């Protein structure tokens, strides 16, 4: 039964997204990404119009003056960039995911689909459900919610409640990648649109976020931001934001991806599932999806983060809880916590930068029961995790210890080498396509897809082959 459905994957998906991906194939790993992004979706002007009609976007950009002041107190003289926050929690369902959902659901409605389906345990579910409500479509959200003891991750339980509140049917599953199998079955059964996170629609929807940031900063301060920090998971947030910045002309703005460090926890493990306090924005998605973007539920992933990342850093769970508390206590904004992942890194990166420079943190998310730090930390303690104050970078151990800093000075970041990620990309490509030699077209594609050059790709292929023999 499982195998039968998986075998029909391409046929089911093609019908459920209405995109003929074969049009963009070149050969092997290579496909025409730019043409796909241009032809399949809508222009940024069209998307701005679609989004404004459903109250998505045009969110406030807030200067975090107190946090900036605190950062400057622990920085060298003249250092401590101004920190701005794009308050994406102001979107209808409370996160930037409304941008993503808005285009998919609009497209589904205009193409005669009666409903939409999304496989997501994150804010995206509520976004799809909310947009579906606006367009009068049915919606089904498939979530990975429980471990085998029927213990639910509080944040995911909350997202399930939110989806239901917007009128979606919520399918709650135990841990495992077969969530995808059940989603395929539902798509096949209902004929609904697959509001995948990874179609060109979903990514184009986020472009307005980068576009707005560039324009808001430019119109207020006469220049584009120096750095934009983006919480990095499946790659859509990075890809869409970076493309939007470029479309607004902010070509010199550095795009830094930030993930919560959950290295060491297995994302498909029944045991590990409830031993993490973050269900998205973490390395369990950030690293593998960068290295092998096409591992998703559509033939070609429109989210390709290595094309756009200038730097990738990690923060700990304890640091994000600190930052979430700080944002509430001294800026009066209760948000997150997962949505504060990149804000956490801002507290450290701002110290490297000059006072007249500007950092924009590009998201916040709504909070509440299940999500709020006290809910997550109470749950973590119940699951046997040690929660304490301390030096988070040194003491935090995913799945075992959450060490929460007590002041801004203790906030640090862990650099994750983009060169290593690019090498992993080549390794995954060699594995997926079962070869060590690629055609000229494939080499050119891999260079573009990793924002590197042919020499680097050749060098990485050579090194991966050598590592394999060693």
Least distance in angstroms from the C-beta of 166 to another protein: 10
Least distance in angstroms from the C-beta of 318 to another protein: 9
| Out of 138, 223, 246, 444, the residue judged to bind another protein by CB under 8 A | 138
Is 21 or 181 the residue whose CB approaches another protein more closely?
181
Q: Which stretch binds another protein (CB under 8 A): 20-28, 37-45, 323-331, 411-419?
A: 323-331
Is 330 or 441 the residue whose CB approaches another protein more closely?
330
Is 7 or 388 the residue whose CB approaches another protein more closely?
388
Is 406 or 463 the residue whose CB approaches another protein more closely?
406
Across the beta sheet with 227-231, the strand order is 61-63, 82-86, 358-361, 227-231, 254-260, 311-315, 414-415
Contact between 407 and another protein by CB under 8 A: the answer reads yes
Angle at 12 between CA 162 and CA 21, to 5 degrees: 100
Contact between 182 and another protein by CB under 8 A: the answer reads yes
Q: Do residues 307 and 449 lie in contact, with contact meaning Cβ atoms separated by under 8 Å?
A: yes
Question: Rounded to an integer, what distance in angstroms lies between the CA atom of residue 157 and that of residue 152?
Answer: 6
C-alpha distances in Å from residue 104, one per residue of 12, 24, 144, 159: 17, 20, 22, 20
Closest CA to 127 of 336, 183, 174, 135: 135
344, HSE (Cβ side, Cα atoms, 13 Å): 37
Is 48 or 159 the residue whose CB approaches another protein more closely?
159
Least distance in angstroms from the C-beta of 140 to another protein: 5
Q: Do residues 362 and 229 lie in contact, with contact meaning Cβ atoms separated by under 8 Å?
A: yes
| Out of 235, 236, 339, 370, the residue judged to bind another protein by CB under 8 A | 370
| Helix segments in 434-453, DSSP class H | 440-449
Closest CA to 366 of 93, 67, 128: 93
Is 28 or 390 the residue whose CB approaches another protein more closely?
390
359 membership: H or E segment, kind and range: strand 358-361
Least distance in angstroms from the C-beta of 155 to another protein: 8
Contact between 181 and another protein by CB under 8 A: the answer reads yes
**CA torsion angle for 243, 201, 167, 143 (degrees, to 10)?**
-80
Contact between 395 and another protein by CB under 8 A: the answer reads no
101 membership: H or E segment, kind and range: helix 97-110
Is 235 or 370 the residue whose CB approaches another protein more closely?
370
Strands (E), 130-194: 138-146, 169-174, 193-194
| Out of 15, 38, 295, 388, the residue judged to bind another protein by CB under 8 A | 388
| Out of 96, 113, 146, 193, the residue judged to bind another protein by CB under 8 A | 146
Contact between 373 and another protein by CB under 8 A: the answer reads yes
Q: Which stretch binds another protein (CB under 8 A): 93-101, 135-143, 308-316, 411-419?
A: 135-143
Least distance in angstroms from the C-beta of 462 to another protein: 28
Contact between 372 and another protein by CB under 8 A: the answer reads yes
Backbone φ/ψ region at 340: left (φ over 0), alpha (ψ -120 to 50), beta: alpha
Contact between 386 and another protein by CB under 8 A: the answer reads no
Question: Rounded to an integer, what distance in angstroms lies between the CA atom of residue 105 and that of residue 46?
Answer: 14
Angle at 157 between CA 379 and CA 370, to 5 degrees: 45
Least distance in angstroms from the C-beta of 62 to another protein: 17
Backbone φ/ψ region at 271: left (φ over 0), alpha (ψ -120 to 50), beta: alpha
Question: Contacts with another protein in 37-66 (CB under 8 A)?
Answer: 66
Least distance in angstroms from the C-beta of 465 to another protein: 24
How many chain residues bind another protein (CB under 8 A)? 65
Question: Rounded to an integer, what distance in angstroms lies between the CA atom of residue 400 and that of residue 209?
Answer: 36
Q: Which residue has the tokens 């003056």?
A: 65
Least distance in angstroms from the C-beta of 295 to another protein: 13
Q: Which two tokens stand for residue 57?
A: 């976007």
Contact between 379 and another protein by CB under 8 A: the answer reads yes
| Out of 59, 231, 305, 376, the residue judged to bind another protein by CB under 8 A | 376
Q: Which stretch binds another protein (CB under 8 A): 14-22, 217-225, 265-273, 420-428?
A: 265-273
Q: Which residue has the tokens 């983009």?
A: 418
Reduced to 3 states, what is the DSSP secondary structure of residue 146? strand
Q: Do residues 192 and 186 lie in contact, with contact meaning Cβ atoms separated by under 8 Å?
A: yes
Question: Rounded to an integer, what distance in angstroms lies between the CA atom of residue 420 and that of residue 309?
Answer: 13
Is 6 or 440 the residue whose CB approaches another protein more closely?
6
| Out of 319, 325, 365, 428, the residue judged to bind another protein by CB under 8 A | 325
User: Which residues of this chain interact with another protein, rule CB under 8 A?
Assistant: 1-2, 66, 69-70, 73, 115, 138-140, 145-146, 148, 150, 152, 154, 157-158, 161, 164, 167-178, 181-182, 189-190, 266, 268-271, 321-322, 325-326, 328-330, 369-370, 372-379, 387-389, 404, 406-408
């Amino acid at each position: 039964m499982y195998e039968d459905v998986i075998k029909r994957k391409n046929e089911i998906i093609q019908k459920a997204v209405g995109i003929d991906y074969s049009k963009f194939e070149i050969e092997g790993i290579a496909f025409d990404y730019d043409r796909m992004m241009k032809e399949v979706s809508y222009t940024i002007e069209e998307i701005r119009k679609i989004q404004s009609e459903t109250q998505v976007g045009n969110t406030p950009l807030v200067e975090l003056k107190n946090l900036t002041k605190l950062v400057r107190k622990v920085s060298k003289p003249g250092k401590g960039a101004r920190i701005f926050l794009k308050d994406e929690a102001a979107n209808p369902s409370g996160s930037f995911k409304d941008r993503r959902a808005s285009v998919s659901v609009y497209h589904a409605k205009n193409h005669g689909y009666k409903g939409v389906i999304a496989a997501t345990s994150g804010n995206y579910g509520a976004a799809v459900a909310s947009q579906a409500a606006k367009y009068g479509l049915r919606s089904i959200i498939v979530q990975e919610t429980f471990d085998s003891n029927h213990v639910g991750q509080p944040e995911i339980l909350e997202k399930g409640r939110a989806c239901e509140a917007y009128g979606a049917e919520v399918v709650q599953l135990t841990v495992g990648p077969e969530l995808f199998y059940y989603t395929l079955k539902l798509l096949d059964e209902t004929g609904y649109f697959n509001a995948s996170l990874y179609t060109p629609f979903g990514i184009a929807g986020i472009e307005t976020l980068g576009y707005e940031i560039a324009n808001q900063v430019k119109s207020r301060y006469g220049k584009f931001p120096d750095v934009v920090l983006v919480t990095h998971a499946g790659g859509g947030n990075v890809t869409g934001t970076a493309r939007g910045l470029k479309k607004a002309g902010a070509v010199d703005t550095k795009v830094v991806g930030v993930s919560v460090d959950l290295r060491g926890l297995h994302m498909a493990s029944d045991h590990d599932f409830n031993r993490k306090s973050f269900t998205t924005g973490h390395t369990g998605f950030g690293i593998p999806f960068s290295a092998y973007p096409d591992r998703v539920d559509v033939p070609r992933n429109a989210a390709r983060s290595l094309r756009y990342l200038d730097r990738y850093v990690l923060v700990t769970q304890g640091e994000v809880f600190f930052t979430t508390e700080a944002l509430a206590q001294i800026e009066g904004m209760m948000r997150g916590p997962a949505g504060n992942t990149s804000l956490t890194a801002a507290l450290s990166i701002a110290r490297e930068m000059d006072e007249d420079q500007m950092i924009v943190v590009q998201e916040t998310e709504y909070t509440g029961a299940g999500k709020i730090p006290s809910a997550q930390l109470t749950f973590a303690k119940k699951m046997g995790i040690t929660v304490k104050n301390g030096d988070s970078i040194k003491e935090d151990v995913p799945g075992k210890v959450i060490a929460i800093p007590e002041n801004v000075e203790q906030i640090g970041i862990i650099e994750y080498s983009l060169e290593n990620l690019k090498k992993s990309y080549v390794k995954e490509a060699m594995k997926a396509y079962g070869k060590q030699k690629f055609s000229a077209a494939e080499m050119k594609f891999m260079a573009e897809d990793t924002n590197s050059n042919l020499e680097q790709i050749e060098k990485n292929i050579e090194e991966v082959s050598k590592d394999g023999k060693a």
